[in-house]
Amino acid sequence: MQENKVELGGDWTYAPAPEDKKHVKIEKRYDLFINGKFVKPAKGKYFDTISPSTEEVLSQIAEADEKDVDTAVKAARNAYDKVWKKMPAKERGKYIFRIARMIQERSRELAVIESMNGGKPIRESRDIDVPLAANHFFYYAGWADKLEYAFPGKKPQSLGVVGQIIPWNFPLLMAAWKIAPALATGNTVVLKPAETTSLTALKLAEIIQESGLPDGVVNIVTGHGKTGAAIVNHPLVNKVAFTGSTDVGKIIQKAVAGTNKKVTLELGGKAANIVFEDAPIDQAVEGIVNGIFFNQGHVCCAGSRLFVQEGVAEELIRKLKDRMQTLIVGDPLDKNTDIGAINSKEQLQKIDHYLKLGSEEGAEMYQPSCSIPSKGFFCKPTLFLHASQSHRIVQEEIFGPVLTVQTFRTIEEVVEKANNIPYGLSAGVWTDKGSKIFNLTQNLRAGVIWANTYNKFDPTSPFGGYKESGFGREGGLHGLMPYLELT
């Protein structure tokens, strides 16, 4: 394994601080979790899952086909009709609480596996992904028996079987975002994790099995895009909840058109991070780095477009470059690592394509002089200075540690530029003035807007987008609604 080293001026470097993985148990092979049991896929097919930081095979994952999906959906329907729908809400809540506690108990193991399989730094998986996943279960457990209070005057009713499809950037957390509110509202679940990051979802299946949750209430089927499509198209699925790319979101929307399936789509993003002249510059630099570089830019709400007011542009860019010079790219299991591995070879190729494109389009590329490991999929943090609104690197989602930089003079100009893209998931504003924050929260077309901070999440707070970033909200009270019929 390549050692992390960073020059701190003079001869100072960080010594490697790798997280121990001895306590982690990864099976050689994982089957499908259907009706409370791990079962072999009908066709007996498996595919390899690797560590993107070492390229070693970690395990083999079952590939579910239409027949397996059918078995899972029928198990979910049966569990809904015979057990889950009839169970008093207070009892349902107890199971959800139990799952939350078990995630906490196994948090270290889950964090290490998340970093091994997904490539994200252990600091992120340990301090963000896993605690937030547990918190989502805790939060929604609390709502299970209080739905009438959540929607006064209405009669909240569950929908039935929900099909849930999630991406690779927050594997466990996205599973929690999906499963917890579905269970709290009395639905049963068939979930498909992304093909590159199935391991923590399968660990969650083990936790669910141990928790004693009635068989069939949650089913986890692994596979590729076709497995996802089989869930979406199954006639017994009452609702589809999808997080992923806008392209696949559009396919799903077409597939459910004309059926009475409910659907929510959480799709891509291209967030503006806006720094005004009166902003605390050092704090903003840290927020920019957190917004796009930590987690390799594998965040749908990543602050991937920086807008700086002209008067502070020079100072801010100088400080940002200095800060980038200290970022450590390398082993995801090292506690000092800031930027881990890109999730897959395909994703790295996509990012590389945009790096080439940005230079061809005329933007000026800056990368720090850090080294990157020779094995695995890694990318240096990258700035594109003098980017302009028409550049594809500004308009399109790159999903990597790549930040475009544009300057602006007036608030009207920056609002216009920030809004002038197909996405509308999130944004950030850095200023000393509350009035500017209010102005921007009114005028930016983004579902989430952070002020003087970035990428902060809480289960009580709704999350979701406008325009091609999708529709429907997850988290908070709003996150219950897509799983209920409110009559």
Buried b (16+ CB within 10 A) or exposed e, 341-351: bbbbeebbeeb
Of residues 451 through 480, those in contact with ligand NAP by CB under 6 A are 465, 469-470
Neighbours of 204 (CB within 10 A): 27
In the complex, which residue's CB is closest to ligand NAP?
228
Which range binds ligand NAP by CB under 6 A, 97-105, 201-209, 244-252, 376-384? 244-252
Tokens of 425: 């998931």
Site string for ligand NAP, 352-391 (x = CB under 6 A): ----------------------------------------
Residues near 482 by beta carbon (within 8 Å), at least 6 away in sequence: 181, 239, 241, 262, 264, 472, 473
Contact between 251 and ligand NAP (CB under 6 A)? Answer: yes
Which range binds ligand NAP by CB under 6 A, 121-129, 148-156, 260-268, 385-393? 260-268
Start-to-end CA distance of the chain, whole Å, equals 58
Give the residue from 95, 106, 166, 169 showing the smallest Cα distance to 137: 95
Q: Is residue 275 classed as helix, strand or coil in its secondary structure?
A: strand
Contact between 225 and ligand NAP (CB under 6 A)? Answer: yes
**DSSP state at residue 83:** I
Minimum separation from the CB atom of position 469 to ligand NAP (A): 6
Minimum separation from the CB atom of position 289 to ligand NAP (A): 20
Considering CB under 6 A, how many residues would be counted as binding ligand NAP? 30
Tokens of 114: 């998340």
Contact between 192 and ligand NAP (CB under 6 A)? Answer: yes
Minimum separation from the CB atom of position 425 to ligand NAP (A): 6
Which range binds ligand NAP by CB under 6 A, 74-82, 137-145, 162-170, 311-319? 162-170
- Angle at which helices 89-105 and 199-211 cross, to 10°: 130
| Active-site amino acid positions | 266, 300
The residue assigned the tokens 């805790």 is: 138
Contact between 224 and ligand NAP (CB under 6 A)? Answer: yes
Tokens of 379: 């990318």
Helix (H) or strand (E) holding 317: helix 310-325
Minimum separation from the CB atom of position 206 to ligand NAP (A): 20
The residue assigned the tokens 């306590």 is: 23
Minimum separation from the CB atom of position 179 to ligand NAP (A): 15
Contact between 169 and ligand NAP (CB under 6 A)? Answer: yes
The angle formed by the CA atoms of residues 160, 161 and 162, to the nearest 5 degrees, is 120
Site string for ligand NAP, 290-309 (x = CB under 6 A): ----------x---------
Burial class (CB in 10 A: 0-12, 13-18, 19+), 104: middle
Contact between 228 and ligand NAP (CB under 6 A)? Answer: yes
Minimum separation from the CB atom of position 251 to ligand NAP (A): 5
Interface positions with ligand NAP (CB under 6 A)? 165-169, 192, 194-195, 224-225, 228-229, 232, 243-245, 248, 251-252, 266-269, 300, 397, 399, 425, 465, 469-470
